[in-house]
Amino acid sequence: MKRTLTVCPYCGCGCMFYLVSNQGRLIGVEPSTTHPVSRGGLCVKGWNAYAFVHHPDRLTAPLIRRDGSLQPVSWDEALDLVVARLRAVQEKHGNDAVMFASSAKATNEENYLLMKLARAVFGTNNIDHCARLCHSSTVTGLAETFGSGAMTNSISCFDQTDVILVIGSNTTEQHPLIGSRILNAVRKGTHLIVADNRRIRLARQAELHLRHKNGSDVALLNGIMQIIIAEGLADPEFIKARTENYEALAEAVADWTPERTAAATGLGVEEIIAAARLFAGAERGMIVYSMGITQHSHGVDNVRCIAALAMLTGNVGRPGTGVNPLRGQNNVQGGCDMGALPDLFSGYQKVADPLVREKFAAAWGVTALSDKPGLPLTRAMDAASAGHLYGMFIMGENPMLSDPDQGHARRVLENLELLVVQDIFLTETAALADIVLPAACYAEKEGTFTNTERRIQPLRKAVEPPGAARADWEIICDIAARAGYQGMRYSSPAVIMNEIASLTPIYGGITYDRLDPHGLQWPCPDREHPGTPILHLERFTRGLGHFSPALHQLPAELPDDRYPFVLTTGRTYFHWHTGSMTRRSHLLDREEPRSFIELHPDDAARLGVRNRDELLISSRRGQVLTTARVTDMVIPGVLFMPFHFVEGAANALTNNVLDPESSIPEFKVCAVHVEKLP
């Protein structure tokens, strides 16, 4: 019997727990009582994080497609084929004809290595990962306004604040150990404003619940800022000392009178005024947001407005304040930090900067690195259908369920000349692959994950991987070696981290011996640096905070006579993304066993729909069968559907329209038709 201290594989809270194992098998989970986030508790997914690991569906051998079906082969055969076929695609169509998709489920070291493999070995900047689908608008929006696209404060700040504005985050379900802190703070007197038209648990505890129209966040935030300025509630000292371009903001929001804001958002004038006064009137205010802000065709504008509201009220750079985008995946922060992004190396160093390219080329022992920014993941599908992309190497992602417009994604993936998928289960995407590589899961390897508060934490191996499965980092290094590259031989992930630290200033002081027990928060530039719980203390990363005003834009697709409902998509508490792990965890799958759609009782009555009726939902992209859940969680005219389920896949319906700056898809708004099946 053994206990192994490690990091939860689910959300960005980054709780640490002990995996309990006996005779090489996991038999349970025990929370860490001293970890700063979990503090002796866990959410339901954390408590069940052991449950999928030994599932009989785990991939145990490399597979190659022969005669139309995937056949087990040796590692030698599979990896030689991976290299030969990647090279063949590149020789035929050019280096940028292949794309590497990294994973927010993989470790920092693995993300760094896949980035290095793409750039140093295969000569392309076509490397990206699922941050593109969740917080790319944050990275763009906060880099422009603050100079750093990460959560400014720490999770402990929720215990030290006077007012919390939660906008577009179902925190108790998606970041439960942060959501529960918010609930506790409210009981101790912290004011809570929730802006989200779903009646989520936090909304039911909030002092103000603003149920604004989907996609009207810019209008709402501009309206709130107009009131703050008009009523003299702004923080002039902070604005003067710490920011620039305030005049442009003041001018841009001046027309957003409460009446105009009310008309654009569907809210009442009084509640908008109340929210502005409550937030601006507090000594310390935190803003929390997530996918409800980012996943819009104007996601970057939403983020700009949030940054502006925080600066306008002086709520940056102090405990209990800040702009706090909650990163979804356990290591989506780390995936970005490691430069698994088409335009950035690790530590947000620009591909466009020749000095940066020189530095990496010298360290990696290559003559030159491509200066052409690569493709964002969300543009890869279109590039493939336009004849610019022919091969994809996908590590630990499942775009068949996670990408918008599933029909389009399927057609593209099926038509690629080469699809290699490295994963722990035969996902819907892996099932389409030419070559499948079996990977170790989080419990079977070492490395680090970086949580939403920028805390780099050690992942430890509890049990052996099944069959021939290997850690992602080992597979990547083997591919590099077979491709003739000698610069990716490492004895352990700790050695990889030393290389990361040498090239990545914000990780400069990170070594494994410093990470016990609960990690360090970046920036941590040198060996003596204690880590950084709060960003932008004396100055913003970019110097002065920059006000970037934004214009209100409508979502790309709005309801009409043919598709009269707004569909918004998201997740449930019990499942994780495309369900490859949680749908194989008995209690979690039992809790939410099938696809469903929420609709308001008034809509249900009008359509003659009862709870659990089967419904056919159609959009311009496709149609799915799902089960009705009649509830006042949603407002009339709006439907909510989770995207976890292969049967009843919400992303068969969603709109593949992208934010022009961040390339994030508009998962949160599309138009659909509802039909009750006889």
Partner 1 sequence: MKILTLDQLDQFFTRISETWELRLPVLLPDGTRAIAPFTSAPPALLGGAVPGKPTAAFFPQQASVFTVYDGALQEPQTPDRPLFIIGFTPRDLACLRFIDRFFADGWRDDIYFRQRQHAVVAGLSGLCGPNGAMIPPAGGDCDLEFFFDGSNWLVVPYSEAGQAIVASLPDSSSPKTLELFRQASAQPEDENEILIKRASELLQADRVPDSFWAEIGERCIACTGCNLACPTCTCFGVQDWRSARQTERSRMWDSCQLDGFMREASGHNPLGSEALRTRRRIHHKLAADPEKWGEISCFLCGRCDAVCPTGIGMVAVARELVTRFGLTESKYLVTGG
The footprint of partner 1 (CB under 8 A) covers 1-3, 5, 16, 18, 20, 22, 26-35, 40-44, 46-47, 50-51, 54-56, 172-173, 176-177, 179-181, 183-184, 187, 201, 204-205, 516-518, 573, 586-587, 590-591, 593, 611-612
Q: What is the DSSP letter of 367?
A: S
Give the nearest distance from C-beta 201 to partner 1 in angstroms.
7
Complex with partner 1: residue 70 or 117, whichever CB lies closer: 70
- How many C-alpha atoms does 559 have within 13 Å on its Cβ side? 16
Tokens read off for 637: 């005219």
- Helices assigned H by DSSP within 65-158: 75-93, 108-116, 131-134, 136-145
Give the nearest distance from C-beta 156 to partner 1 in angstroms.
14
Complex with partner 1: residue 27 or 241, whichever CB lies closer: 27
Give the nearest distance from C-beta 531 to partner 1 in angstroms.
16
Residue 432 sits at φ, ψ, to 5 deg, of: -95, -5
Complex with partner 1: residue 32 or 406, whichever CB lies closer: 32
User: The dihedral of CA 604, 676, 589, 451: what is its sign?
Assistant: negative
Residue pair 672/607 in contact by the 8 Å Cβ criterion: no
DSSP string covering 192-217: EEEE-SS--HHHHT-SEEE-PPTT-H
CB atoms within 10 A of CB 647: 9
Complex with partner 1: residue 32 or 153, whichever CB lies closer: 32
Complex with partner 1: residue 186 or 363, whichever CB lies closer: 186
Give the nearest distance from C-beta 35 to partner 1 in angstroms.
7
Rounded to an integer, what distance in angstroms lies between the CA atom of residue 354 and that of residue 375?
19
Give the nearest distance from C-beta 94 to partner 1 in angstroms.
43
Residue pair 592/575 in contact by the 8 Å Cβ criterion: yes
Complex with partner 1: residue 103 or 190, whichever CB lies closer: 190
Cβ contacts of 323 within 8 Å, gap of 6 or more:
142, 146, 151, 152, 287, 289, 306, 307, 310, 316
Give the nearest distance from C-beta 579 to partner 1 in angstroms.
16
User: How deeply is 30 buried, as exposed, middle or buried, from its count of CB atoms within 10 A (0-12, 13-18, 19+)?
Assistant: middle
Rounded to an integer, what distance in angstroms lies between the CA atom of residue 425 and that of residue 430?
8
Complex with partner 1: residue 186 or 366, whichever CB lies closer: 186
Residue pair 97/390 in contact by the 8 Å Cβ criterion: yes
Give the nearest distance from C-beta 196 to partner 1 in angstroms.
16
Tokens read off for 173: 């379900």
Rounded to an integer, what distance in angstroms lies between the CA atom of residue 329 and that of residue 332?
5
Complex with partner 1: residue 236 or 517, whichever CB lies closer: 517
Complex with partner 1: residue 3 or 260, whichever CB lies closer: 3
Q: Which of 372, 309, 347 is nearest to 125 (CA)?
A: 372
Complex with partner 1: residue 240 or 590, whichever CB lies closer: 590
Q: Which amino acid is present at 98?
A: V
User: How deeply is 298 buried, as exposed, middle or buried, from its count of CB atoms within 10 A (0-12, 13-18, 19+)?
Assistant: buried
Complex with partner 1: residue 22 or 415, whichever CB lies closer: 22
Give the nearest distance from C-beta 24 to partner 1 in angstroms.
13
Instruction: Give how far Cα 174 sits from Cα of 136, 292, 326, 412, 577, Å.
Output: 18, 12, 9, 31, 11
Rounded to an integer, what distance in angstroms lies between the CA atom of residue 547 and that of residue 566?
31
Residue pair 97/372 in contact by the 8 Å Cβ criterion: no
Give the nearest distance from C-beta 247 to partner 1 in angstroms.
44
Q: Scanning the structure block, which residue is given the tokens 């960005």? A: 12
Rounded to an integer, what distance in angstroms lies between the CA atom of residue 476 and that of residue 73?
18
Give the nearest distance from C-beta 162 to partner 1 in angstroms.
20
Q: How many residues does the chain have?
A: 678
Secondary structure class of 160 (helix, strand, coil):
coil
Residue 447 sits at φ, ψ, to 5 deg, of: 155, -160
Give the nearest distance from C-beta 25 to partner 1 in angstroms.
9
Specify the DSSP element, H or E, that contains 250.
helix 246-253
Tokens read off for 606: 């009008």
Give the nearest distance from C-beta 631 to partner 1 in angstroms.
12
Complex with partner 1: residue 41 or 637, whichever CB lies closer: 41
Complex with partner 1: residue 96 or 173, whichever CB lies closer: 173
Give the nearest distance from C-beta 179 to partner 1 in angstroms.
6
Complex with partner 1: residue 522 or 573, whichever CB lies closer: 573
Give the nearest distance from C-beta 309 to partner 1 in angstroms.
28
CB atoms within 10 A of CB 24: 10
Complex with partner 1: residue 539 or 586, whichever CB lies closer: 586
- Helices assigned H by DSSP within 486-545: 493-503
For 78-117, b/e burial (b = at least 16 CB within 10 A) is bbebbbebbeebbeebebbbbbbbbbbbbbbbbbbbbbbb
Give the nearest distance from C-beta 460 to partner 1 in angstroms.
9
CA 551 remoteness from chain centre: 25
Complex with partner 1: residue 44 or 361, whichever CB lies closer: 44
Give the nearest distance from C-beta 2 to partner 1 in angstroms.
7
DSSP string covering 560-575: -SSS-EEEEEE--SS-
Give the nearest distance from C-beta 288 to partner 1 in angstroms.
16
Complex with partner 1: residue 6 or 655, whichever CB lies closer: 6
